[in-house]
Amino acid sequence: MSYTVESMDEGAIILTTMGADYDVTDDMLASSDETFALLESGPTRIVMITDARLLKVNSLEDILMGGKTINDPRIQRTMHHPKLIKSLSVINSKLLQLAVKGLNSASFGHTDIPIYESPEDAFNVARKLLYGEASTAG
């Protein structure tokens, strides 16, 4: 499978891991639908973490298609869900980092998604947001 969506910390953290063959349209919509279902059934405060370290971007067209897909209503209902307190990303590709930073613009509803170098860093921030203190548990 090109992605996994996991519920962690009793539903308070949703981890999406993108594989190397993740499709920025079809898989983005499908993984968003799975995430939305977890948001709906989860606790009142949830942090999403997206691990995109394996994702391969083959062209600028991939980035543009991903940007177009972000505005799909299925994605927007997930990104702006009332239970979602923050979205975090783990990305090592400079191109993808720039693309995610570009989401913090009027065209994408000023969607601020901080980027981290490691899953451990993202999990520590998520747990601090949720529980008020950093955790070293992974």
What is the rounded CA–CA span in Å between residue 131 and residue 125? 10
Q: What is the pLDDT along the chain (138 residues), one digit of tens a residue?
A: 699 999 999 999 999 999 999 988 889 999 999 999 999 999 999 999 999 999 887 677 777 777 777 788 998 899 999 999 999 999 987 777 777 776 656 655 556 788 898 999 999 999 999 999 655 454
CA-to-CA separations, 71 to 21, 29, 37, 100, in angstroms, rounded: 22, 11, 19, 13
What is the pLDDT, as a whole number, of residue 138? 46
Cβ(26)–Cβ(1) under 8 Å? no
What is the pLDDT, as a whole number, of residue 104? 59
As to burial, measured by CB atoms within 10 angstroms (0-12 exposed, 13-18 middle, 19+ buried), residue 111 is middle
Q: Give the tokens for residue 116.
A: 């981290």
What is the rounded CA–CA span in Å between residue 25 and residue 123? 26
Instruction: Just give the CATH number of 3-118.
Output: 3.30.750
What is the pLDDT, as a whole number, of residue 63? 73
Q: Give the tokens for residue 81.
A: 């869900």
In sequence order, which residues have a C-beta less than 8 Å from that of residue 25 and are 6 or more positions away?
65, 66, 69
Length of the chain: 138
Q: Comparing C-alpha atoms, which of 100, 105, 99, 74 is closest to residue 87?
A: 100
